[in-house]
């Protein structure tokens, strides 16, 4: 029995799959998650047939946009976009079913707003037929609000509800913008207001493919573009936040995490402002691929327990991370500091781990309570400061031998969203002896004579074998 690789890769418009076994090659959009698994030929071919059928159905759905209606709001034909969601039919049997809604037969899970219609955003989140959705109600009245490309100018805070996703067009993200006379502390409040102070009860909230813009508000205002006092099953994906420049130590915050217990935030770019992110007492969070750009302080931490930044970039920031309250654990993994000041500074007693940091300026790396603890260096392999077994005194700094490097040129794989040019999947052929390496997600086909001599240490590679054509296929994320 032959055994083959199945390779699934993400793209900016959804998920693309590449399967290759024997004489069968198939590329299918809209799969689930990134994985690399070894499967038997029989089960694999059966899976291919099922996926081919699903692909045919999806192709029929996305080939020609249809007119769908949601609570008197129309999801109009959108021939000017290639985003698959805009063309899906969410009427009739496809409208979803919420049995605990006041009127299940008339409740719409999927709602759309008309382009530029900012006034309908709040009602699209709240409405349930002739009434409103129930407060603090998880998994019984779900809602997805699709926002087509355009600018949506708000004069007051947009409040989310539990079990709600705002999803923009991934190919042309809509802009939710604060008006010059905006009234409120937050442009978007991710916490269900009915949960009161208990953000840990605001579950299943999501923002996808959106731009939040507070540039029309005075640069000295303390407005936050997004308040994220939320709980589990909350997500941010492909979100860009643009703030007005700060002035005199005052200014906007991109994301404020108050009381709550979310698990992770990913793929966010935050430009300008006083604080890119303000971690203000949230229990814990993993921040993946956050791009801090021209923030006075990239991340301000005034309370919390466990905070980890994976693959962050601090670009032209006054300070990378500033800890002013509590005694949190702060992990910084695979970080880049570009044209920025001190990477980590604190006035209190946190525990710190820095693993694989690159830095291109002469400013200090770590400053503890006004004293330099780690001087400037272009490369920090491993550094920690905290309670350490075997150290005397037990609380202090340790620079030791790092653990074995992971795949992907020593970095934990974490492909960041490019908010300027979305990544694309391409297919290319390279000749034996070619040394030029493409720096994007690429499927490379090679003759079998080259399959055994690939430089596997250069990148994270996924292998597939085509027995009939004697070629091997590799998916690689270079750079």
pLDDT at 77: 39
Long-range CB contact pairs, 347-350, < 8 A, 24+: 347/323, 348/323, 348/324, 349/395, 350/301, 350/323, 350/326, 350/386
Dist. CA 449–CA 165, nearest whole Å: 49
**Listed range (366-380, 396-410, 443-457) with the worst mean pLDDT:** 443-457
**pLDDT tier for residue 414 given thresholds of 50, 70 and 90:** confident
Which 3 state secondary structure label does DSSP give 45? helix
> Which of 65-74, 88-97, 165-174, 445-454 bottoms out in mean pLDDT, i.e. has the lowest?
65-74
Q: Which ranges in the chain are annotated with CATH 2.160.20.10?
A: 68-304
Q: What is the pLDDT of residues 294-338, one digit of tens each?
A: 999 999 999 999 999 999 999 999 999 999 999 999 999 999 999
Task: List C-alpha distances in Å: 267 to 7, 144, 240, 310.
Answer: 22, 20, 9, 11
Helix (H), strand (E) counts: the chain: 3, 35
Half-sphere exposure (Cβ direction) of 294: Cα atoms closer than 13 Å: 10
* 24 alpha carbon, distance to own chain's centre: 33
- Does the reported pTM lie above 0.85? no
State the pLDDT confidence band at 122, using cuts at 50, 70 and 90.
very high
Which pair of structure tokens corresponds to residue 403?
């653990």
Reference 444, options 408, 478, 406; nearest CA is 478
In the beta sheet, which residues pair with residue 75?
68
Q: Are 60 and 94 in contact (CB under 8 A)?
A: no
The answer to which of 121-125, 199-203, 216-220, 310-314 has the lowest mean pLDDT is: 199-203
Interatomic CA distance for residues 440 and 430, integer angstroms: 15
Q: Is 375 exposed, middle or buried (0-12, 13-18, 19+ CB in 10 A)?
A: exposed
Strands 235-242 and 205-213, bridge-based pairing: parallel
Contacts of 20 (CB under 8 A, 6+ apart): 4, 5, 7, 26, 464, 465, 466, 473
Residue 52, pLDDT above cutoff 50: no
Query: What whole-number percentage of the chain has pLDDT above 70?
Result: 67
Query: Which two tokens mark 96?
Result: 């979803």
Query: In this predicted model, which residue has the larger pLDDT, 284 or 412?
Result: 284
Cα–Cα distance for residue pair 125/163, rounded to 1 Å: 10
Residues 349 and 372 sit within 8 Å (Cβ to Cβ): no
**Which of helix, strand or coil describes residue 474?**
strand
The mean pLDDT value for 340-353 works out to: 96
Q: What is the DSSP letter of 94?
A: G
Closest CA to 154 of 186, 112, 113: 186
Q: If we measure between CA atoms, which residue out of 437, 430, 431, 427 comes closest to residue 475?
A: 427
Q: 152 pLDDT exceeds 60?
A: yes
Residues 6+ apart with CB under 8 A from 410: 356
Domain at 68-304: CATH architecture: 3 Solenoid (2.160)
């Amino acid at each position: 029995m032959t055994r083959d690789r199945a390779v699934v890769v993400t793209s900016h418009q959804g998920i693309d799959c590449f399967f290759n076994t024997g004489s069968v090659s198939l590329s299918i959009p809209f799969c689930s998650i990134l994985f690399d698994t070894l499967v038997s030929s029989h089960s694999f071919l059966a899976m291919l047939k099922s996926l081919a059928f699903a692909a045919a159905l999806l192709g029929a759905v996305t080939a020609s946009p249809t007119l769908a209606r949601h609570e008197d709001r129309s999801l109009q034909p959108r021939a000017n976009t290639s985003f698959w969601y805009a063309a899906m039919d969410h009427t009739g049997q496809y409208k979803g079913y919420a049995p605990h809604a006041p009127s299940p037969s008339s409740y719409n899970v999927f709602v759309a707003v008309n382009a530029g219609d900012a006034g309908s955003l709040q009602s699209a989140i709240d409405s349930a037929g002739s009434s409103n959705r129930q407060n603090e109600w998880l998994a019984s009245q779900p809602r997805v609000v699709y926002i087509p490309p355009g600018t949506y100018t708000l004069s007051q805070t947009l409040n989310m509800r539990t079990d709600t996703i705002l999803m923009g067009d991934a190919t042309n993200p809509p802009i939710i913008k604060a008006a010059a006379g905006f009234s409120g502390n937050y442009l978007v409040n991710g916490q269900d207001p009915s949960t009161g102070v208990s953000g840990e009860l605001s579950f299943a909230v999501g923002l996808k493919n959106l731009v939040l813009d507070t540039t029309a508000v005075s640069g000295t205002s303390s407005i936050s573009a997004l308040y994220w006092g939320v709980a589990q099953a909350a997500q941010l994906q492909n979100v860009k936040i643009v703030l007005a420049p700060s002035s005199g130590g005052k200014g906007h915050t991109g994301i404020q995490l108050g009381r709550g217990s979310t698990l992770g935030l990913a793929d966010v770019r935050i430009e300008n402002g006083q604080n890119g992110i303000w971690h203000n007492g949230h229990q814990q969070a993993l921040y993946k691929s956050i791009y801090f750009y021209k923030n006075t302080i990239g991340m301000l931490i005034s309370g919390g327990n466990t905070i980890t930044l994976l693959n962050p970039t601090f670009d032209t920031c006054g300070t990378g991370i500033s800890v002013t309250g509590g005694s949190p654990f702060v992990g910084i993994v695979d970080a880049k500091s570009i044209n920025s000041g001190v990477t980590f500074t604190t006035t209190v007693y946190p525990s710190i781990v820095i693993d694989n940091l690159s830095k291109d300026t002469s400013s200090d790396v770590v400053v503890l309570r006004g004293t330099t603890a780690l001087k400037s260096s272009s490369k920090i392999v491993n550094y920690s400061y905290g309670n350490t077994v075997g150290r005397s005194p037990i609380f202090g700094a340790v620079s030791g031998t790092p653990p074995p490097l992971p795949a992907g040129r020593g970095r934990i794989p974490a492909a960041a969203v490019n908010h300027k040019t979305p990544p694309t999947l391409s297919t290319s052929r390279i000749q034996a002896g070619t040394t030029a390496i493409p720096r994007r997600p690429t499927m490379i086909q090679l003759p079998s004579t080259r399959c055994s001599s690939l430089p596997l240490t250069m990148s994270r590679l996924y292998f597939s074998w085509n027995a009939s054509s004697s070629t091997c296929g590799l998916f690689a994320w270079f750079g």
